[in-house]
Amino acid sequence: MPAVALFGKPAAAPAQKVVGAVVTVIVGVLVLYPVVYLFQAAFATGDPNVRPPQSYGLDNFALLPNYSEIMLNTLAVSAAAALMALVFGFVIAWILTRTNVPMRGALEQLMAVPYYVTPLLGALAWSLLGSPESGFINQVWRALGAKEALFDVTGPIGIAWVMALFEGSVAFVMISAVMKSMDPSLEEASQVIGAGRFRTMVRVTLPLVAPGVLGAAIYVFAEMLGSFSAALVLGSPNRFYVITTAIYQLVSQYPPRLPLAAAMGVSLFVVMFAMIFLYRRLTRGRSFVTVSGKAFRPRVMDVGRFRWVLFAVCALYLIMSVFLPMATLALASIQRLATAFPHPSDFTLEHYRTAFSLNAVRSAMGNSLLLGFMTATIGIVLTGLVAWIIQRSRLPGRAVLEYIVMFPQAVPRLVFAFGMMWAWLVFPIPIYGTLWLLLIAYLTVFLPLGVRTISGVLVQLDKSLEECGEVCGASWGYRLRTITMPLLRPGLIAAWLLIFVASVRELGASILLMGPNSKVLTPAIVEAFFSSSSELTAAMALIQTVVVGLVMLLFLTISRRAARLGA
């Protein structure tokens, strides 16, 4: 888009319409095209292996009541995990963005680590730590003289705990992106008129970030519904199952019962849409504007000595979600068969040798990083425009777009991947089996992530800032580039990192869509857990975590330097 001079002709509306239409078409194709195939499968009867289906009916939906107990399990564990994640996320985001807690920068970097660890790892680490017989903590506990295990992580609460720690850390990133764009003068005003810090947090901060938190809540709850690893690793030994473990059974048995899995998946659309409807009702007609024409600089509150208490809260959380799991995995990865008290002869580097010797892994790592970079970069442009259309434009049908965007989040990835496979296999342009297909798949499944993150920040921007530009005659593109985007910067960076990491650790869609020359790493890691060993899995996953961590550091350093130069 050419940078039209500030006093040029105000020709904004047509450009908006064109871009809006193009974005809507892209999103429609990405999302609805596979969804059509999912519905086709959900209503298919007859031989599940014959495509296209021979006949249609409601048979698959009629079987769903058999899974009502599992459905209830899923809702309960997802709600518990989402709640925990939001509480952790909100409290820590508040501490790190609003108070002068010591070592803020380092803590903030560390907070992102659980998210870029492949979810299986958290579950694996906690199963090594908290299994009743062999869990390291329980072994140490017994060595201290106890008879019984200290705790058992394989129950529903343990599962929700692990899900909250590892899959819920996205809540922190989303909420803190919102808090960073908040004008602190409102909080200061509250304190000036005599409200305490806690009261200010509950009565001022929380309502101001409500849309961001609610958006994060919907997203996180959906993420929990689709969560697979914790329930797989921790739940099955304890005979506790959720919808994704049930779907996995249906998909991986012979013959695979894809139609039933698809019916289960599309039924979850109803749950998701009810939640988005609720979200829209709750946020309608309210203003959440905190970034206006008035200048502000994010300032932090001086909480005095209380800051060390807050530091301890963050440190405790990080010990649970980062240090303990990572140390456990590191210890496991250098043993032949992991235990809490290894004998010197049990140590080996064999798992690392195996991991590095796998050609597939070496090329897969490169592919994963390349895809992560491309998905994140294209993704923020696409999701940024979608978020802008939904929140800001007056284009017709923008509400529908909000629903469409959430489709990929509503269905467990394992099922959505089949829709994408069927769709893109018959697509006339031969992208099947290439990295392009994975790129398309990632852009599709991470639409909700990007849109939620950016929307949370976008609703805080005062429209009058853009309108001011409009009055001055700046074109829409020019306004986006010079007003909206700079103000959105923290949200955009958060979204980029989230999408990058989500792509690198993507599992459900990759398993089915990668080709022999377009392999990615996470499926190999998960597969090592299935058929090789936890120790090899730990070694591979640690390698992945270190590489991803380095790339993220690099990105943050570059973006900071660029920001400084730009300033």
Q: Which residues bind other proteins (CB under 8 A)?
A: 49-51, 70, 131-134, 232-233, 236-239, 241, 245-246, 248-249, 251-256, 258, 336-337, 339, 346, 354, 358-361, 418, 421-422, 425-426, 432-433, 511-512, 514-517, 519, 524, 527-534, 537
- Rounded to the nearest 10 degrees, the angle between the axes of helix 169-180 and helix 485-504 is 170
- Please enumerate in sequence order all residues whose Cβ is within 8 A of that of 403, keeping only pairs 6 or more positions apart, or say none: 273, 276
> What is the closest distance, in whole angstroms, from the C-beta atom of residue 119 to other proteins in the complex?
15
In angstroms, give the least distance from the CB of 81 to other proteins: 21
In the complex with other proteins, which residue's Cβ is closer, 250 or 387? 250
CB 389 within 8 A of CB 28: no
Cα 359 from chain centroid (whole Å): 29
Strand-pair partners of 55: 45
Closest to 24 in 3D by CA, of 410, 324, 424, 451: 451
3-state DSSP assignment of residue 320: helix
Which residues, other chains included, contact 409 with Cβ-Cβ below 8 Å and sequence gap of 6+?
A: 219, 222, 223, 226, 272, 445, 448, 449
Nearer to other proteins, 495 or 526 (CB): 526
Nearer to other proteins, 220 or 246 (CB): 246
145/255 with CB nearer other proteins: 255
Q: Which is nearer to other proteins, 58 or 360 (CB)?
A: 360
- Shortest CB 58 distance to other proteins, Å: 20
Cβ-count burial of 269 within 10 angstroms (0-12 exposed, 13-18 middle, 19+ buried)?
Answer: middle
Give min distance, CB of 520 to other proteins, in A.
Answer: 12
Q: Name the residue nearer to other proteins (CB basis): 15 or 512.
A: 512
Closer CB to other proteins, 10 or 256, in the complex: 256
199-230 burial code (b ≥16 CB/10 A, e <16):
ebbeebbeebbbbbbbbbbbbbbbbbbbbbbb
Check if the beta carbon of residue 275 is closer than 8 Å to that of residue 214.
no
Question: Rounded to whole angstroms, how far apart are CA atoms 379 and 365?
Answer: 20
Least distance from other proteins to the Cβ atom of residue 220, Å = 26
Residue 531 C-beta: closest distance to other proteins, Å:
4
**Minimum CB separation from other proteins for residue 425, in Å?**
4
Q: Are 486 and 562 in contact (CB under 8 A)?
A: no
Give 49 or 68: the residue with its C-beta nearer to other proteins: 49
H-type alpha helices, 306-358: 306-318, 324-333, 350-357
Q: Three-state SS for 145?
A: coil
Q: Which is nearer to other proteins, 465 or 547 (CB)?
A: 547
Q: From the CB of 231, what's the least distance to other proteins, in Å?
A: 11
Least distance to other proteins, CB of residue 509, Å: 12
The minimum distance between CB 159 and other proteins, in angstroms, equals 15
Q: Which residues pair with 461 in a beta bridge?
A: 291
Amino acid, res. 529? F
Q: How far is CA 292 from CA 183, 202, 494, 540, in A?
A: 9, 22, 21, 47
Beta bridge partners of 291: 461
Q: Which is nearer to other proteins, 208 or 331 (CB)?
A: 331
Cα–Cα distance for residue pair 147/159, rounded to 1 Å: 24
CB of 486 to other proteins, least distance (A): 45
- Please, what is the minimum distance in Å from the beta carbon of residue 131 to other proteins? 6
Reading phi first (left if > 0) and then psi (alpha if -120 to 50, else beta), residue 285 is in: left
Q: Which is nearer to other proteins, 239 or 394 (CB)?
A: 239
Nearer to other proteins, 30 or 514 (CB): 514
Question: What kind and span of H or E run contains 45?
Answer: strand 44-45
Cα atoms in the Cβ-side hemisphere of radius 13 Å centred on 332: 27
| C-alpha to C-alpha distances, 276 to 28, 73, 460, 500, nearest whole angstrom | 18, 22, 19, 25
Q: Quote the CA–CA distance of 93 and 475 in Å, as a whole number.
A: 36
Q: Which residues pair with 44 in a beta bridge?
A: 56
CB-based contact 27:386 (threshold 8 Å): yes
Comparison of 346 and 467: residue with beta carbon closer to other proteins: 346
Shortest separation between residue 344's beta carbon and other proteins, angstroms? 13
- Rounded Cα–Cα distance for residues 223 and 211 (Å): 18
